[in-house]
C-alpha cells in the first residue's frame, strides 16, 4: 500500500512539473522518468545504434555452424557456437535494457505540437500504454534469445535430432529474428537525427558508417551463400542415400549416416565403402545429374572443410564481389530457390551500391566543398583581373591576399557565424577570442572587465598581406588596429616637412590608429573622421583585430571610464604619436640649449681677445716720452670713440637693411614663412574638464 501511494505521489509530482527533472536524486531510479531530449538519452540512442549493428553482425555467424568434410557427413562447430552464444547474450542484455528505458522515457504530447509548446507526458501509465501499442512487440521479438534457446535447450531435448535439423531450424529462426532487428535501426536513426541533427559528427565517420553498412550487407550475403551451399550439398547426399535405401543395395543407407556422430558405426563404415555418394555429389564432376549452380565454388575451393577464419573471409569476399557486380558473374541452375537468391542479389546490390555511392559522395563533397568554392572564387578573380587588365604587380598582390585569407580562415565566414548566435553566447565567444589579446595592449590593461567586454564584442578580424598600406599619412582614420601576428612599420614626415622622418616597428601587442581614440573621447567631435599623422605599412603578413570608428564612438559614449585622467596619461605614455611629439620636443629643447651654450662660449672668446690687445698697447706706451704719451692717449681715445660711433651706426644700418630686405622678400613671396623650420605640433587631446575622474 505504501509503495502504491509513493508511486502515485511521484507520478503526480512529475505530471504537475512536466519539464522539471532536477529532483531525480530524491526519487529511486526505478521511478524516474527520463527526458527524451536529455543528454543521457541522446548518448544511449547513439550507443544502442552501434550495439544493433554489432548484433546484426553476430547473427549471420550462426550460419557457419555446420561443417562438412570428405566423409559425406555434417557436424557442428562447438567452439564457434559457444563464442557466438556468449556475444549474442551480451547484445540481448542491451536490447532488454533499451526496452526498460522506453517504459521510463517521456514523450511529447501530440496535442501540444500544433502550438509549438511540446509538453512532455510523464505519467508512467500513459507511457507504458503508448509503448505497448506501438513498438513493444517488435522490440520483444528482437530481444528474445531464440537461437540460444533452440541450440542449447530445445534441440538436445528432441529425440533423433540431426545436424541437418539443427541447421534448418537455426537458419529459419535467425532469419526471422534478423528482420525486426534490422528494422529497429531506422526509427533509432530518426530519433538521433531529431535530437542531434546528424549521425556521424565528421565526414570521415559518416563515410565509414556507410561503408560499414555495405560491408555488413556483404557479410550477411556471404554467410547466407555458405549455409545455402551446405544445404545444397546435403540435399545431394540425401537424394543419393534415398536411391541406395533399398533391398538390392547391401548394406542399405540410413539418413542418420549423414551425421558425423555415426562415423564409428560399423554399418555406416560398410555403407560408405560401397556407396557412390562422393562421386555423385562431386562439384568438380560435370557429368553428374545434380547441379550445384552458384554453390559449386564452396566445394571446388574446399571452403566448407576449411578453418573458420579462411571460410569467413572467403564468404565475405564472395558477397562483396557479387554485391558490387550485381550478381552478373553468377552461374545458376534451374533450381528455383537458387534463381530467386540470384535475383535478390542483383536487386540488393543495385540499391545498396547506389546508396553507398550517393552517401559517400555527399560526405566526401562536404570535406571538399569549401575547397571547391575557394577554387571557383579564385577563378572568378583571375577572370576579372584579366578583363580589367590589371598590372602584374597588382595581380600578384591580389593572389597573395586570397591565398593568405584561405590559409587563415579556410573559407569560414566568422562574422556570419557570430551574427547567427545569441547575444550572450556571442559575447562569451568574443571574450574568449579577444580578451587576452586586448589585455596584452598596455593601454587597455588598465581598464575594467565591463569596458573590455564592450570593446571585445565589437572587434572584427582583419587580414593584411605583406607590403600593404593600412593607412597613409593625411588619410582619414576609419579603424583602430590591434596586432595579433606579424610586424607593421609606422612612419611620419610631420605633414611633409623637409628633412623630417620618424619610423617605428609595431609588433604583436601594439596598436595603431590612436587618433581615432582621441576623436572618440572628444565631447564635441564632428562627423568628420580624424586625419592620420602616420603612414602604416605591413612588413609581413599581419593578422589583427580592428575596432571601427562608430563602434569606438559608441563605447566612448556609453562608458565614462574612458574619460578618466589615469587612462589619459596611460594613452599619452603608450601612444606612438605622443612619443614622437615628446621626442621632437626634447630634441628641440636640446638644440636650443646647445645653441645658447655655443653663443656664450663665442662671447667669452671675444672678450679674452680684446683684453690681450689692450695689454700690448700699454707696453708700447711706456717706451715713449711723457709728452708723446699724453698726446697719444688723447688722440687714441678720440679715435676709439669715433670708431665706436661709426661701428654702432653701421650695425644699426645693417639691421635696418636686413629687415627691409626681408620685408621685400616677404611681399614678393607669400609662402616665405614656410622657409622657417616649423615646430612639430602637439597632438590634439579631448577636453576632460567636463567629466569626473
Predicted local confidence at residue 657, as pLDDT: 52
User: Is the bond into 377 cis (omega within 30 degrees of 0)?
Assistant: no
pLDDT at 452 over 50: yes
Distance from CA of residue 569 to its chain's centroid? 43
Over 80: is that where the pLDDT of 237 sits?
A: yes
Q: What is the rounded distance in angstroms from the CA atom of residue 535 to the CA atom of residue 472?
A: 4
Strands (E), 192-326: none
> Which residue matches cell numbers 541447421?
167
Question: Is-contact 420 467, C-beta < 8 A?
Answer: no
Residue 530 DSSP one-character state: P
Question: Strand pairing partners for 538?
Answer: 488
**Residue of 201, 222, 200, 224 whose CA lies nearest to 210:** 200
Confidence check: pLDDT of 11 > 70: no
Closest CA to 534 of 613, 609, 466, 481: 481
Residue 159's pLDDT band (cuts 50, 70, 90): low
Query: What's the half-sphere exposure (Cβ side, CA atoms, 13 Å) at 131?
Result: 20
pLDDT at residue number 517: 76
Q: How far is CA 343 from CA 355, 481, 484, in A?
A: 18, 70, 65
| Average pLDDT estimate for 609-632 | 54
pLDDT band at 621 (very low <50, low <70, confident <90, very high): low
Determine the number of helices (DSSP H) and then strands (DSSP E) in the chain: 24, 12
Q: Say whether pLDDT at 413 is over 80.
A: no
Q: Please report the pLDDT score of residue 385 as a whole number.
A: 86
Pairwise CA distance, residues 297 & 229, whole Å: 9
Asked whether residue 48 carries a pLDDT value surpassing 60, the answer given is yes
Average pLDDT value for residue range 245-251: 63
Q: Of the ranges 53-57, 161-165, 199-203, which one carries the lowest mean pLDDT score? A: 161-165
- Residue-wise pLDDT tens digits, 262-293: 888 888 888 888 788 887 887 777 677 777 77
Which of 58-62, 331-335, 388-392 has the weakest average pLDDT? 331-335
pLDDT at 10: 42
CA 82 to chain centre: 45
Is 190 a residue whose pLDDT tops 70? yes
* Banded pLDDT at 676 (limits 50, 70, 90): very low
State the pLDDT at residue 90: 93
Residue 94 has pLDDT above 90, yes or no: yes
Q: Which grid cell sits at 51?
A: 550495439
How far from the centroid of its chain's Cα atoms is residue 404's Cα?
A: 19
Distances (CA, A) of 622 to 322, 616, 618: 141, 11, 7
Measure the CA–CA gap between 576 and 491, rounded to whole angstroms: 10
Kindly tell me if the per-residue pLDDT of 64 is higher than 50.
Answer: yes
Q: Are 479 and 536 in contact (CB under 8 A)?
A: no
> Can you give the pLDDT at residue 86?
92
Torsion of CA 163, 169, 171, 177, to 10 degrees: -150
- Residue 648 — pLDDT band, cuts 50, 70, 90? low
3-state secondary structure of 206: helix
**For the residues of 297-347, what is the DSSP string, one character each?**
HHHHTT-TTS-HHHHHHHHHHHHHHHHHTTTTT----S-HHHHHHHHHHHH
Q: How many angstroms separate the CA atoms of 224 and 551, rounded?
A: 70
User: What are the distances in angstroms from CA 554 to CA 448, 455, 558, 570?
Assistant: 17, 10, 6, 21
Asked if the model's pLDDT at residue 12 lies above 60, the reply is: no
3-state secondary structure at position 489: strand
Could you tell me the pLDDT band of residue 668, with boundaries at 50, 70 and 90?
very low
Share of residues in the chain with pLDDT > 90 (%) = 4
- Decide if 191 contacts 288 (C-beta within 8 A): no
**More confident call, 584 vs 15:** 584
Question: What is the rounded (10 degree) CA torsion for 144, 148, 149, 153?
Answer: -170
Between 195 and 95, residue with greater pLDDT: 95
Q: How confident is the model at residue 119 (pLDDT cuts 50, 70, 90)?
A: confident
Report how far residue 225's alpha carbon sits from residue 500's, in angstroms, rounded to the nearest whole number.
Answer: 91
- The DSSP line for 628-672 is HHHHHHHHHHHHHHHHHHHHHHHHHHHHHHHHHHHHHHHHH-TTG
Residue 638's pLDDT band (boundaries 50, 70, 90)? very low
Matching residue, cell 559425406: 72
* Per-residue pLDDT at 622: 52
Rounded average pLDDT over 195-214: 78
Mean pLDDT of the chain: 75
354-407 per-position pLDDT tens digit: 888 877 777 767 667 777 777 888 888 888 888 888 888 888 888 888 877 777
Q: Which of 97-101, 137-141, 314-318, 459-463 has the lowest mean pLDDT?
A: 459-463
Binning pLDDT at 50, 70 and 90, where does residue 51 land?
A: very high
Helix 449-457 to helix 549-558 angle (10° resolution) is 150
Query: C-alpha angle with apex 456: 452 to 462, nearest 5 degrees?
Result: 140
Q: Which of 136-145, 371-380, 434-443, 501-510 has the highest mean pLDDT?
A: 136-145
pLDDT of residue 313: 92
Per DSSP, the three-state class of 68 is strand
Q: What's the rounded Cα separation, in Å, for the pair 456 and 430?
A: 6
263 near 203, Cβ under 8 Å? no
Average pLDDT over residues 534-552: 86
pLDDT at 594: 87
195 has pLDDT over 80: no
* 3-class DSSP assignment, residue 198: coil
Phi-psi region of 509 (alpha: psi -120 to 50; beta: other; left: phi over 0): left
CA atoms lying within 13 Å on the CB side of residue 103: 14
Average pLDDT of the segment spanning 115-134: 80
pLDDT at position 344 is 87
* Average pLDDT over every residue of 20-38: 65
The pLDDT of residue 317 is 92
Half-sphere exposure at residue 473, Cβ-oriented, CA atoms within 13 angstroms: 16
DSSP one-letter code for 152: I
As a whole number, mean pLDDT of residues 79-104 equals: 90
Q: Characterize the bridge pairing of strands 502-506 and 542-548.
A: unpaired
- Those residues with Cβ within 8 angstroms of residue 430's Cβ, 6 or more apart along the chain or in another chain: 418, 456, 457, 459
Report, as an integer, the average pLDDT of 16-24: 42
pLDDT category of residue 89 using cuts at 50, 70 and 90 = very high
Overall pTM > 0.75: no
Highest-confidence range of 420-424, 578-582, 663-667, by mean pLDDT?
420-424
Q: Which of 196-200, 613-617, 684-688 has maximum average pLDDT?
A: 196-200
Q: Which residues pair with 506 in a beta bridge?
A: 488
How many whole angstroms separate alpha carbon 506 and alpha carbon 464? 14
Rg (CA), the chain: 50
Closest by CA position to 58, among listed 93, 86, 99: 86
Residue 671 has pLDDT above 80, yes or no: no
First-residue to last-residue Cα distance in the chain: 73
Question: What's the pLDDT at 688?
Answer: 38
Of residues 358 and 351, more confidently modeled: 351
Poorest-pLDDT segment among 72-81, 124-133, 362-371: 362-371
Amino acid 3: pLDDT: 44
pLDDT at 678: 40
- Dihedral sign from CA coordinates of 136, 139, 144, 146: positive
Candidate from 66-70, 226-230, 413-417, 657-661 with smallest mean pLDDT: 657-661
In this prediction, residue 351 carries a pLDDT of: 86
- % of the chain beyond a pLDDT of 70: 74
For residue 484, whether the previous peptide bond is cis, meaning omega lies within 30 degrees of 0, is no
| Highest mean pLDDT of the ranges 40-49, 288-297, 322-331, 491-500 | 40-49
Of residues 194 and 654, the one with the higher pLDDT is 194
Amino acid at each position: 500500500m505504501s509503495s502504491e501511494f509513493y508511486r502515485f505521489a511521484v507520478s503526480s509530482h512529475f505530471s504537475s512539473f512536466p519539464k522539471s527533472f532536477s529532483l531525480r536524486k530524491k526519487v529511486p531510479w526505478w521511478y524516474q522518468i527520463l527526458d527524451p531530449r536529455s543528454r543521457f538519452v541522446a548518448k544511449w540512442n547513439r550507443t544502442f545504434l552501434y550495439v544493433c549493428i554489432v548484433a546484426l553482425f553476430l547473427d549471420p555467424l550462426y550460419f557457419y555452424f555446420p561443417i562438412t568434410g570428405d566423409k559425406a557427413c555434417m557436424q557442428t562447430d562447438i567452439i564457434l557456437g559457444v563464442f557466438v552464444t556468449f556475444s549474442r547474450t551480451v547484445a540481448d542484455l542491451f536490447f532488454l535494457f533499451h526496452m526498460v528505458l522506453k517504459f521510463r522515457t517521456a514523450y511529447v504530447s501530440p496535442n501540444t505540437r500544433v502550438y509549438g509548446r511540446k509538453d512532455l507526458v510523464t505519467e508512467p501509465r500513459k507511457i507504458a500504454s503508448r509503448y505497448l501499442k506501438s513498438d513493444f512487440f517488435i522490440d520483444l521479438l528482437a530481444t528474445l534469445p531464440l537461437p540460444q534457446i533452440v541450440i542449447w535447450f530445445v534441440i538436445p531435448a528432441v529425440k533423433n535430432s540431426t545436424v541437418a535439423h539443427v541447421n534448418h531450424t537455426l537458419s529459419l529462426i535467425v532469419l526471422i529474428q534478423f528482420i525486426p532487428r534490422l528494422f529497429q535501426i531506422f526509427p533509432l536513426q530518426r530519433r538521433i537525427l531529431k535530437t542531434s541533427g546528424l549521425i556521424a559528427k565528421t565526414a570521415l565517420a559518416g563515410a565509414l558508417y556507410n561503408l560499414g553498412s555495405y560491408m555488413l550487407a556483404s557479410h550477411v550475403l556471404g554467410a547466407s551463400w555458405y549455409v545455402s551451399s551446405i544445404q545444397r550439398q546435403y540435399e545431394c547426399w540425401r537424394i543419393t542415400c534415398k536411391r541406395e535405401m533399398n533391398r538390392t543395395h547391401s548394406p542399405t543407407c540410413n539418413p542418420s549416416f549423414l551425421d558425423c556422430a555415426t562415423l564409428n558405426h560399423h554399418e555406416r563404415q560398410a555403407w560408405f565403402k560401397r556407396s557412390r555418394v562422393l562421386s555423385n555429389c562431386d562439384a568438380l564432376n560435370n557429368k553428374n545429374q545434380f547441379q550445384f549452380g552458384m554453390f559449386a565454388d564452396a566445394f571446388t575451393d574446399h571452403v566448407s572443410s576449411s578453418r573458420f577464419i579462411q571460410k569467413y573471409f572467403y564468404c565475405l569476399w564472395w558477397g562483396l564481389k557479387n554485391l558490387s557486380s550485381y550478381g552478373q558473374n553468377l552461374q545458376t541452375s534451374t533450381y528455383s530457390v537458387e534463381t530467386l537468391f540470384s535475383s535478390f542479389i542483383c536487386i540488393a546490390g543495385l540499391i545498396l551500391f547506389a546508396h553507398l555511392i550517393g552517401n559517400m559522395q555527399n560526405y566526401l563533397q562536404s570535406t571538399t566543398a569549401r575547397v571547391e568554392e575557394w577554387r571557383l572564387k579564385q577563378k572568378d578573380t583571375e577572370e576579372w583581373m584579366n578583363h580589367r587588365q590589371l598590372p602584374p604587380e597588382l595581380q600578384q598582390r591580389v593572389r597573395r591576399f586570397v591565398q593568405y585569407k584561405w590559409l587563415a580562415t579556410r573559407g569560414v565566414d566568422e562574422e556570419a557565424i557570430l551574427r547567427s548566435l545569441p547575444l550572450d553566447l556571442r559575447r562569451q565567444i568574443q571574450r574568449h577570442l579577444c580578451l587576452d589579446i586586448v589585455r596584452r595592449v598596455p593601454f587597455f590593461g588598465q581598464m575594467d572587465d565591463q569596458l573590455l567586454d564592450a570593446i571585445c564584442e565589437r572587434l572584427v578580424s582583419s587580414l593584411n598581406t605583406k607590403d600593404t598600406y593600412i593607412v597613409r599619412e593625411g588619410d582619414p582614420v576609419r579603424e583602430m588596429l590591434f596586432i595579433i601576428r606579424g610586424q607593421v612599420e609606422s612612419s611620419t614626415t610631420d605633414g611633409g616637412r623637409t628633412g623630417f622622418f620618424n619610423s617605428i616597428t609595431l609588433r604583436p601587442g601594439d596598436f595603431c590608429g590612436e587618433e581615432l581614440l582621441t576623436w572618440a573621447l572628444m565631447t564635441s567631435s564632428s562627423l568628420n573622421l580624424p586625419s592620420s599623422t602616420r603612414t602604416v605599412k605591413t612588413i609581413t603578413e599581419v593578422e589583427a583585430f580592428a575596432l571601427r570608428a562608430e563602434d569606438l564612438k559608441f563605447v566612448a559614449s556609453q562608458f565614462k571610464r574612458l574619460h578618466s585622467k589615469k587612462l589619459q596619461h596611460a594613452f599619452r605614455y603608450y601612444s606612438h604619436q605622443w612619443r614622437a611629439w615628446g621626442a621632437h620636443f626634447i630634441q628641440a629643447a636640446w638644440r636650443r640649449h646647445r645653441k645658447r651654450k655655443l653663443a656664450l662660449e663665442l662671447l667669452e672668446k671675444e672678450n679674452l681677445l680684446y683684453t690681450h690687445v689692450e695689454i700690448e698697447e700699454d707696453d708700447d706706451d711706456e717706451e715713449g716720452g711723457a709728452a708723446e704719451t699724453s698726446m697719444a692717449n688723447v688722440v687714441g681715445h678720440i679715435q676709439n670713440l669715433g670708431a665706436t660711433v661709426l661701428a654702432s651706426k653701421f650695425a644699426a644700418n645693417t639691421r635696418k637693411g636686413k629687415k627691409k630686405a626681408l620685408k621685400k622678400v616677404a611681399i614678393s613671396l607669400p609662402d616665405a614663412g614656410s622657409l622657417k623650420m616649423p615646430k612639430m605640433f602637439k597632438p590634439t587631446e579631448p577636453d576632460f574638464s567636463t567629466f569626473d575622474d
